[in-house]
Structure 1
């Protein structure tokens, strides 16, 4: 692994921009950007439009390593170019920002109060492609809806199982067992999940290093033990449907936790904005999220 990149992620000030909407979530992202589904009639056209949106964001002067440590990409974005370079190379070589790849293939139907990740049948091939594209790390998401001990245990163990495999392949894995912010049992879910994470961290070999992307907790600094664990390079927060205002307020109360926001970063950007207005709005969002991340 690249020591410079590891040091940047471990010690750098900033946050991770999540631009990894996949096939299922891309229509919503485009809708929020001002492009309704009526404006495209194929998956190919949809991905072309979202790549243009992401290119506009990433190439903006406001999107820089002064505030942003890494960017999570969807496979389609990794395999496409910006400014004549493959996206990951453009991010690292031109922007000094670490490229991270979403690797999960979606979620199973809800069972035991959770949605496990579907089996990653293409993971080995995807990691080979990621290596060729100079990807730093990966991210994979599953969702916890209720405080079912067995379901949460299964989710955490699955995340760690894949995480160990990804680390062995030469990447830093980001484990994302998201807790649904609308769950009536959110606090209890957090308690069970934290206990399971700590159990699994204790089983890691000394050199194994991972990251976590976790829903902002109800109790400030609730994940302090995880943040301080020697196996954990960084703990980042997902906005999970919270508005930019609420997400940044909650984040600022959790010391040592940095943002990995998508909706809270992009919520006020629009396809019809002039480049000047677009950059100004993006700059404001970046600054607000950055300041909450360095508290």
Structure 2
């Protein structure tokens, strides 16, 4: 583990940029950016287009370590280069931004009110490759759709099992058990989720370090006991989860110690058709607003 990166992730005031749209969500991300599906042919061209978009974001003067703590990458992005350097090396060497990698392979069908992660074939091999590419940590997402105690327990069990495997490989995992913001009884689901997380943390060896990515809670400061006083927890971050950037920022600002890890909300308003000056200005405004909400 890179100790300088660990200290930055643990203590610095900033937020995490999620640049990890994968196969299923990439066409939507490109469409929001103003690139239609008829402008590329097949996965290779699609991923080349999205890498161009991510490169433009990362190289922008607005994408600064003053505001950005880390960036979460998709596997395809990890394997590509920016200005002759692998993306993770460019992020750290040129920007001072810590690189993470999305490792999940998407969501299984809804069962018992939740969507577990699909199996991750050869995860150990991916983790070894990530380490060689100087990736600091990982992220993996599952989703809670309904208030199902057994389903939520299964989500947390799967997240922790894989988290321990990732930590054993020398990386810091971000566990992301998202609670769908459109689900009924979301506050009750969050209560069950937190209780299950705390049970698992209670038996986790002291030297195992996790991060958590959660939906912005219904009750302000609901995750304060995860953020403070848990020796295994490095940081707790929040997804925007379908809220507009303004909504997400307003809600986030009411949660002390919870910082952003936004994807769609970060890229809101960006367009392939913008001049570099306009692109940088829109991105800078977005980043500063998210940063302000993250440090309150």
TM-score by length of 2: 0.99
Aligned to 1:78: 78
Give the root-mean-square deviation of aligned CA atoms.
0.6
CA distance in 2, matches of 1:217, 1:159: 19
Structure 1 residue 12, shift from structure 2 partner: 0.4
Q: Spell out, residue by residue over 1:185-237, the C-alpha distance to the aligned partner (whole angstroms, 9 max, x if none).
A: 21111011011001001010011110000000010000011111111000000
Structure 1 distance, partners of 2:204, 2:79, is 32
Q: Which residue of 2 aligns with 1:242?
A: 243
Equivalent position of 1:273 in the other structure: 274
Aligned to 2:10: 10
Measured in 1, the distance between the counterparts of 2:185 and 2:39 equals 40
C-alpha separation between the residues in 2 aligned to 1:3 and 1:108? Answer: 35
Count of residues in correspondence between the two structures: 295
1:168 paired with 2:168, answer yes
Is the aligned partner of 1:285 residue 2:286? yes
Secondary structure class of the residue paired with 2:100: strand
Segments of structure 1 that go 5 or more residues without pairing to the other structure are none
Q: CA deviation at 1:40?
A: 1.4
Look up the SS of the partner of 1:48 in the other structure: helix
CA distance in structure 2 between the partners assigned to 1:37 and 1:144 by the alignment: 30
CA distance in 2 between partners of 1:294 and 1:201 (Å): 26
Quote how far apart the aligned CAs of 1:121 are. Answer: 1.5
Equivalent position of 2:112 in the other structure: 112
The Cα of 1:37 is off from its aligned counterpart by 1.0
**What are the residue-to-residue correspondences of 1:134-145 with 2, within 5 Å?**
134-145=134-145
Aligned to 2:295: 294
CA distance in 2, matches of 1:126, 1:268: 33
Instruction: Give the equivalent residue in structure 1 for 2:204.
Output: 204
* SS of residue in 2 equivalent to 1:219: coil
Matched, 1:154 2:157: no
Could you tell me how far 1:154 is from its partner in structure 2?
Answer: 0.2
- The Cα shift of 1:134 comes to 0.1
SS of aligned partner of 2:208: coil
* Residues 150-209 of structure 1: per-residue CA shift (max 9 Å, x gap): 000000010000001100100000000001010012111101101100100101001111
- 1:39 deviates by 1.2
CA contact 2:147–2:184 (8 Å) conserved in 1: no
Q: Secondary structure at the match of 2:221?
A: coil
Deviation digits for residues 43-98 of structure 1, max 9, x if unmatched?
Answer: 11100000000000000000010100000000000000001110000000000000
In structure 2, distance between residues paired with 1:45 and 1:83: 19
Deviating 4+ runs (over 3 angstroms): none
Counterpart CA distance in 2 for 1:38 and 1:263 is 22
Contact 2:214-2:238 at 8 Å conserved across structures: yes
Unpaired segments ≥5 residues, structure 2: none
| Post-superposition offset of 1:254 | 0.5
Secondary structure at the counterpart of residue 93 of structure 1: helix
Q: Secondary structure at the match of 2:119?
A: coil
Deviation at 1:122, TM superposition (A): 2.2
